[in-house]
Amino acid sequence: MNGSITLAGAALAFLTVCLPSQAQVPAVDRERPAPVIIEPTAREFLNSCASCHGMDGKGAGFLTRLFRGVDPGDLTQLAANNGGTFPLERAFAVIDGRAEVAAHGDRKMPVWGDRYMNAEMSEWGPDELNELRVRNRIYALVHYLQSMQETGGNTQQ
């Protein structure tokens, strides 16, 4: 009888300790890794640029094989290719679509300024702040590109 009580007590102690912790975490969470938190601008880069330029910006995105003869370029070398200074305004103009992209020949790179404006128009309708929101979105992406520079380029004024 004494052994039964000890065994029952041990089982109760085990269940008391183990069951609450099992009940607090659904089975699906234990099987799946925690989501990765991505900053908004990094997400913008992954959504808008990485398919051609690669997740690391070095130009090896999965779409490059579809554009034969087109080199999307290594975005981590923009400052190095510009005398050590990050070409802020040029990067803005290229993303926005107002400048030719020599590496692409005829422009294969999307005109993101137009795409972003269309998105703003869809969300806000005709609004005097649309252009400001588009410019802010592009500048945030440009500053993200600047942070990717392997040389740590300075900002060109």
Residues 151 and 80 sit within 8 Å (Cβ to Cβ): yes
Residues 101 and 24 in one domain: no
Mean pLDDT of 90-114: 76
Query: pLDDT tier at 147 (50, 70, 90 boundaries)?
Result: very high
Query: pLDDT tier at 21 (50, 70, 90 boundaries)?
Result: very low
Residues 68 and 25 in one domain: no
Number of structural domains in the chain: 2
Considering only residues 70 and 136, tell me which one the structure prediction assigns the higher pLDDT: 136
Rg (the chain; Cα; Å): 26
Q: Quick check: 74 pLDDT over 90?
A: yes
Q: Are strands 154-155 and 85-86 parallel, antiparallel or unpaired?
A: parallel
- 43 token code pair: 């997400």
Residues 72 and 141 in one domain: yes
- Name the nearest CA neighbour of 96 among 74, 116, 78: 116
pLDDT at position 25: 44
Considering only residues 10 and 69, tell me which one the structure prediction assigns the higher pLDDT: 69
Domain that holds residue 15: 2-31
